Every structure is written in structure tokens, then in C-alpha cells.
Amino acid sequence: MRAAASGQAAGSAGRGGDQIAAAGSPSPAAAAANACDEVSPAEAPASPAEADLSTGREPAGPAAGGTAQPGGALISQIRPGRALVIATAALIVAMIIGVSVGPAGLSVASSLESIAVRLPWHPAFSVPAIDVDIVWQLRLPRVVLGALVGAMLAGGGAAYQGVFRNPLADPYLLGVAAGAGLGATAVIVTGASPDLLAPAAFAGGIGAVALTYVLGIGAGRDAEPRRFGGGTASILLAGIAVAALLTAAQTYLQQQHSPTLQSVYDWLLGGLSTASWSDVTMILPYVAIAAVALLAHRRLLDVLRVGETEAGSLGVNVARLRLIVVIAATLGCAAAVSVSGLIGFVGIIVPHAVRLTAGASYRIVLPVSMIGGAAFLVLADVAARTVQSPAEVPLGVITAVIGAPFFLFVLRSRRARQDLM
């Protein structure tokens, strides 16, 4: 009897091991979801897939283990802590380049000395007053504003991708771009004060997302009453509809006021040529609140990767999580767009690059995306103002030129394509 029981136990253990081994897959979300299907909710936290998910490592399996994937050798992952250090160092270098490059021809040393002389308890530097004014009034506010805008666009893109479980989501997914564009266009074509441009764009972006969310939640509850606070698909479809409607209204305004088309297009293509300290102080509170809220919920975004039903069974209030993340990301992105115009691709390029190099855990993806997005946009702005100097290329054009080859690279890399499936 004991021998038979021992044999049955061994067979069960063998079958359980086979099930765990079969749960490994190239996609971390799929592996975690399979693991949750194999165990009860009370036992779910102890599953190997969730243990890997919480630590930011890929679940065990053939694709994550020793079997080589064709095309995957082009991308080598680095440790999460090292990714933060590298991103921070890149941001510091980018900001030094940003304040040093320009038509005035200041050296790096002169630029740093010009920054230092305005700081408390600075060393005794002999710096011409004109150099100090160039750095502090023209270059430094532009670099700081570019860092804030880039951090928010990249962080907002990563947050949208996590909360909607869609790797192609970007900060403009729910209509921020269309609403902000309509608000800015309305100010330009009516000849209102330029001081109203940023507030109108901000209000338009916030209003568009609010309308999208209300329509999407209502449709989701009617169609799928058992879902957690309405279906994600309904919100995304509502975003497409609202964006199309607002874009049509914007186009109508442009056609009715053709003399202002150039001004409208200049804003829509994005840029930081008019950056000032007042712009920095205006968006800083919104960016700070949004960044803190998103970083505080990054662990819950990791849990959401296993699916809404599984996350709900683990105690996550999916509707509340989605609402908080959407509000925070929209608040920060609308503030960023209001002072920079519509700059595309940042919210897709940077989060995907972080996933490919540092892993898929949002504990790392969100902070590294914010820091990396800041560095990326500062360097893109340097390119925008130097490629055709003394003229400037629209910043949105620079990010688009970088974004297209990036997606070609994604198509060539098997491991990158797995993140899109």
C-alpha cells in the first residue's frame, strides 16, 4: 500500500513538473497567465511564474532558458540596477550636450561654469555675463523642458501599454493629441492671446480623455457587465472614435482659416524653440504628480500582466488601477503636449527599448523609461536645432525619422516581435 501511494505521489509530482515546464513561453504575460490557470487564487502567489514576474525575470521555459532564439542574439539584456545607472548617466551627458551645443559656440567648460555662477556657494569663476545669459535664459530652460516632456511622454506610453496590455499603445491613445490639437488650433485661428495656447491645449487633451473614458466605460459595462469596470477594448474603441471626431473638427477650423495654417502646423509638428522658465514652472507640478502616481503603481502593473481576471482574483481592483493610471498619465502627457506640441514616437520607442534591454517588469520599465525618455528628447532637440542650423527642424520630424528604423529593427528581431504579439 505504501509503495503504491509513493508511486502515485511520484507520478503526480512528475505530471506537475511537466505542467510547470509547459507553462514557460516566450511571453512573460502568457507564462504568468498559464501559471495562474494551473493553481487556485490562494496558491497563486507561490507559482514559479509569478515569482519570476515579481522579480522582473523572465519565467522559466525554453525561450527564457538556454535555447537560443534566432535574432535574439542581437539584443543583450542588462541588470535592472545597471539599467538605471546607464539611463541616469545618459541623461546627464545629454543635458551637458544640450547646454553646450548652439550657434554661440560655448565650450563644455564655459557652459558648466555659466551654470555654476548662478548657484549658491559657487566657486569664483570669471565668466562673461553674455555667456551666463545665453545658458540660463536660452539653453538651460530648453533642456530642462525637453527632459520633462520626454520623461512624461515615455512614462505615459509605458503606463498605457501596461494598463491596456497593448505594446503599441502610446501617450496619445485615448485622444490627448486630438484634444490638445483642437484646443491649440481654436486659439490660433481665433487670434486669441498666445498666453492661452498652452492652457487651451491642456484643457483639450484632458477633456478628450475624459470623454473617451466615460464613453468607453459605459459601453463596456453594457456589453460585458461581468468585466472589471468595463472592457478595455471598449475604451480603446471609444478613444479612436473621439480622436477621429476631434481631428475632423480641427481640420474644419484649419480650412476655414487658411491664413493661420502655417502657425497651426508649426505647433502640431512639435518643438521647444520658445521654451522658457515659465513653461517649466507651469508643467512641473503636473509632471511631478503624474510621475509619483505612475511609479507608485508600477508593481500592480506587473500583476496586471497576467490578465484582468487573474489580477482580480489576486486582489487587484482592476477598474481603480486603470482609472488612476489613465488619469496620472493623461495629466502629465497633456501638460507636456501643451508646451511642446505633438511629438510622436517617444512613448513607443523608449519603453520598447527598455524592455528589450532591461526586461519586461514595470518596476524597471517605468523609471528607466522616464529617465531614458528625458535623455532621448534632449538629444533629439539638439539634433533638431543643429541639423539645418541656423534654421530648426521640427522636433516631431526628428523623432519620426528615428522611430521608423526602430520599428524595422523590431520586425527583424524575433524577441522584439514577441512583445508585439
In the block, residue with C-alpha cell 501511494: 5
Over residues 234-290, the pLDDT tens digits come to 888 999 999 999 999 999 999 888 888 888 988 999 999 889 999 999 999 999 999
Give the CA distances from residue 396 to residues 42, 93, 268, 344, in Å, rounded to whole numbers and listed in that order: 49, 22, 8, 6
CA angle 34, 7, 42 (to 5 degrees): 35
Q: Band of the pLDDT at 420, cuts 50, 70, 90?
A: low
Give the pLDDT score at 14.
42
Domains in the chain, start-ordered, CATH in brackets? 80-418 (1.10.3470.10)
Give the pLDDT score at 66.
40
Task: Please return the burial class of 12, using the count of CB atoms within 10 Å of its CB with bins 0-12, 13-18 and 19+.
Answer: exposed
* Helix (H) / strand (E) containing 102: none
Q: What is the mean pLDDT of residues 67-89?
A: 67
SS3 label, residue 128? coil
* Helix (H) / strand (E) containing 368: helix 362-386
Give the pLDDT score at 416.
57
Q: Band of the pLDDT at 123, cuts 50, 70, 90?
A: confident
Select the more confidently predicted residue: 40 or 117.
117
pLDDT at 419 over 80: no
Over residues 214-239, the pLDDT tens digits come to 998 876 555 554 444 456 888 889 99
Mean of the per-residue pLDDT values of the chain: 80
Q: Are 206 and 179 in contact (CB under 8 A)?
A: yes
Of 85-89, 183-187, 266-270, where does mean pLDDT reach its minimum?
266-270
Task: Give the integer Cα–Cα distance in Å for 367 and 361.
Answer: 11
* Helix (H) / strand (E) containing 344: none
Give the pLDDT score at 417.
57
Q: What is the mean pLDDT of residues 301-327?
A: 89
Over residues 346-401, the pLDDT tens digits come to 999 999 999 888 888 999 999 999 999 999 999 999 999 999 888 899 999 999 99
Give the pLDDT score at 418.
61
Q: What is the mean pLDDT of residues 330-353?
A: 93
**Structural Rg of the chain based on CA atoms:** 24
Q: Are 149 and 339 in contact (CB under 8 A)?
A: yes
Give the CA distances from residue 368 to residues 12, 85, 95, 227, 378, in Å, rounded to whole numbers and listed in that order: 43, 9, 16, 32, 15
pLDDT at 58 over 60: no
Give the pLDDT score at 338.
94
